[in-house]
Structure 1
């Protein structure tokens, strides 16, 4: 499992992470979606980047605050910058 130990601890970092996933900036292929989840081992919240078979491509820990307040951003996507 590819898990980044850096913790996303604010909504701005979550938005930047989601934009990186969307733009292909993380070098991942076959990305089908993202989801907030909790670890079965210890209950820690994380964001999961999933492929089309719902397999984890990349995980990144998030703070409890980001887990609670970032659900809409993950569900609906980050805000796009207006040109």
Structure 2
């Protein structure tokens, strides 16, 4: 599901990732939302970029701390401008 071995370890890294997605720099099309989620198999947390049909376009692993403390950041969006 997620091929990128790098884990987002800080809220600053999460915010940077959100800005990158929102700016279109990753070249993803039909981005409709971003969510924090866990895998069904082992409960590992990740940030999911979803399309308009709620299908996963891109996922990045996140640390447990980012999963617990980054919910408002994902819900409300980054405060920095892109």
TM-score (norm 2): 0.93
Write out aligned runs for 1:1-83 (5 A).
1=1, 3-81=3-81
Structure 1 residue 4: deviation in Å?
Answer: 2.1
- CA change 1:3–1:54 in 2 (3 A) is farther
Task: Provide Cα deviations, 1:3-60, integer angstroms capped at 9, x if missing partner.
Answer: 4221000000000000000000111111000000000011100000000000000000
Aligned 8 A contact 2:2 2:61 in 1: no
Q: Give the length in aligned residue pairs.
A: 81
Task: Give TM-score, length-normalised by structure 1.
Answer: 0.92
How well do the aligned residues superpose, as a CA RMSD in angstroms? 1.1
